[in-house]
Amino acid sequence: MPTSSSARPAVPPTVWLARGRHAGATPDTAVRHTLHWLKAGQDIDDFLELPAPDTAPDLVFEARTRVAGEVTVRARLSLAPGTDAGRDWILVAEAEQPWDPSWPSPAAMFWPSEPDPEWNADPVTGLRPGVINPLPEDDKDVRRLLRACVRDPWHVHVVVHEAMTTDERGRVPLARWLPPGLRDRVVEHRATPQQSRVANWALRESGVEVPRGGAVVLPGSPVPEGYDADAFAVRAVFLDGTEPVDLVAAVTRYDALPRTLPEGAEDALTALREEWRLLTTAEELVRQRELVAMYAEALEAMTKSRDLYREAAERAHEALAVYRESAEALGTGEAPAPRGVSPLTRTLERFRVGGKARRPGPASGEPASDN
C-alpha cells in the first residue's frame, strides 16, 4: 500500500474541498446564473465576482451562506483557463464550526442543482461523482484507471463488485444514500461479475482487494492516517435498491480520517482566508480598525527608528569631533582640552602621556649611554 511522505499541512476540520472539470463552453455563465438565482431566492446571503484583472488567468467567485441555523460558511470557486477538455475548477469552503457532512454541499452555491453532467467531472479520470461508472472492458484500461484512482487525493473512490448482473433496482447510485456533503466527491466504480479478478489484479500493488459481491474504499494518496484496507472493505453489498448501510458507513468513516491538503488546495485555502473580499458591514469595520492599528504600529516603529538613528548620528558626530581634536593635539604636541569622560579622549590621553614616559632624558649626574 502506498504510504504518505507528504509534508503538506492537514485539512482543517472546518474545511470542505472539491475539484472538478466543467466540460461545457461557458462555465462562468452557469456560475453567474446560479449565484444570481440563489441570492434572489435568499438561499445564499451574498456573492461576489472578483475583478478579472486581479485574479487572471483564473476567474474567482465568492459566496456566503448559513447552515444549521446561524453557522456561516464562506466559499471560493476558482475557474482555470479553458482547454480542449474543458475548464478545471477548485472549490474551498470553510465554516465557523467543524464541517458536518449532513450540511448542504458548497458546490450547490455555484453550480446548477439539477443533474448536469458538464460541471462535475473528475479531471484525472473524466468520470463523474454521484453516478455509476462501469469499469472499462479492457483489462489494461481497468488497471490504468484504478491506478489513477488510488493516487487521487481529491475524491473518494469506491469499487463495487456485482455478484450477479443487476436489474433496475440494483442500478441505484451509492450517492443517493450518502450525506449531502459527500455526494459531489464520491466516485463509484462498478465491476461486473466477470471483472472480480481483473479488478483485484489492478489493485494488488495498492494492498487492497474487492470482496466478491462486496466493495472497497480506495486509500487515496497520500494514505490517510488510520486507513486499513480490511476496515474499509465491505463483504457484501446487496444491490436490490435498499440502502447499503455498511458501505455508507465505510465511506463516511473514510471521509472523517485526517488527510493532508492536496496539491493546489493549500493555495486555495490561503486565498480564502487572506484574500476574502465579500465582507459584511461589521466585518469591513473590523478590517478597517485592524488596518488603522497596523498603520499606527508601523508609524510608531518608524518614529522610534528615526529617534534612534538621530541619537546614533549625534554620538557619531561627537566621537568624530573628539577624534579630530585629539589628532590635531597629537600633531602639534599640545594637550587637547578636556572633554569629560569620553572613552576616546581617555585612550588618546593615555597614549600621549605614555609615549612621553617612554622617552625620558638622561638623569642628572649620570653618564649618557654610548648607545
Q: Which residue has the cell 459527500?
A: 182
Cis before 106? omega within 30: no
Write down the pLDDT at residue 292. Answer: 80
Q: Which of 228, 227, 236, 231 is nearest to 256 (CA)?
A: 227
Write down the pLDDT at residue 365. Answer: 46
Q: List the beta bridge partners of residue 260.
A: 10
Cell numbers for 333: 604636541
Write down the pLDDT at residue 302. Answer: 83
Write down the pLDDT at residue 364. Answer: 46
Q: Which of 354, 270, 288, 327 is nearest to 92 (CA)?
A: 270
Write down the pLDDT at residue 294. Answer: 80
Task: Kindly report, residue by residue over 54-94, the tens digit of the pLDDT.
Answer: 999 999 999 999 999 889 999 999 999 988 889 999 999 99
Write down the pLDDT at residue 178. Answer: 97
Cell numbers for 196: 472480480
Write down the pLDDT at residue 296. Answer: 81
Residue 112 and residue 100 in contact, taking contact as beta carbons nearer than 8 Å = no
- Integer Cα distance of 107 and 96 in angstroms: 18
Write down the pLDDT at residue 306. Answer: 83
Residue 107 and residue 120 in contact, taking contact as beta carbons nearer than 8 Å = yes
Identify each DSSP E strand in the chain by its residue range.
Answer: 15-22, 46-49, 59-67, 71-79, 87-95, 132-134, 156-161, 186-191, 215-217, 233-234
Regions of the chain short of the pLDDT cut 50: 1-6, 339-341, 354-355, 357-359, 361, 363-371
Cell numbers for 121: 467531472
Q: How far are the Cα atoms of 21, 85, 93, 189, 277 from residue 265, in angstroms, in the given order?
A: 15, 21, 11, 25, 19
Cβ neighbours of residue 116 under 8 Å, at least 6 residues apart?
30
Cβ neighbours of residue 141 under 8 Å, at least 6 residues apart?
none
- Integer Cα distance of 218 and 135 in angstroms: 15
Q: Which of 147, 125, 131 is nearest to 20 (CA)?
A: 125
